[in-house]
Amino acid sequence: MALLSAGYRVAVNGVREADALGNLLQDLNGEAPGRVMYVQGDIGRADHREGMLRRIEREFGSLNVLVNNAGVAPRERNDLLDLSEHSYDRVMDTNLKGPFLLTQAVAKSMLCSRRAHPDFAATIINIGSISATVASISRGQYCLSKAGMGMMTQLFATRLAPEGIGVYELRPGIIRTDMTSGVTEKYDKLIAEGLTLQPRWGLPEDVGRAVASLVRGDFAYSPGQVIHIDGGLTLPRL
Active-site hit among 8, 88, 142, 221: 142
Phi, psi (deg, nearest 5) at residue 36 = -130, 135
User: For the chain, what is the HEC assignment?
Assistant: CHHHHCCCCEEEEECCCHHHHCCHHHHHHHHCCCCEEEEECCCCCHHHHHHHHHHHHHHHCCCCEEEECCCCCCCCCCCHHHCCHHHHHHHHHHHHHHHHHHHHHHHHHHHHHHHHCCCCCCEEEEECCHHHCCCCCCCHHHHHHHHHHHHHHHHHHHHHHHHCCEEEEEEECCECCHHHHHHHHHHHHHHHCCCCCCCCCECHHHHHHHHHHHHHCCCCCCCCCEEEECCCCCCCCC
Quick check: is 142 catalytic? yes
| Nearest in space to 66 (alpha carbons), one of 140, 145, 178, 168 | 168
Any idea which residues carry the catalytic annotation?
A: 142
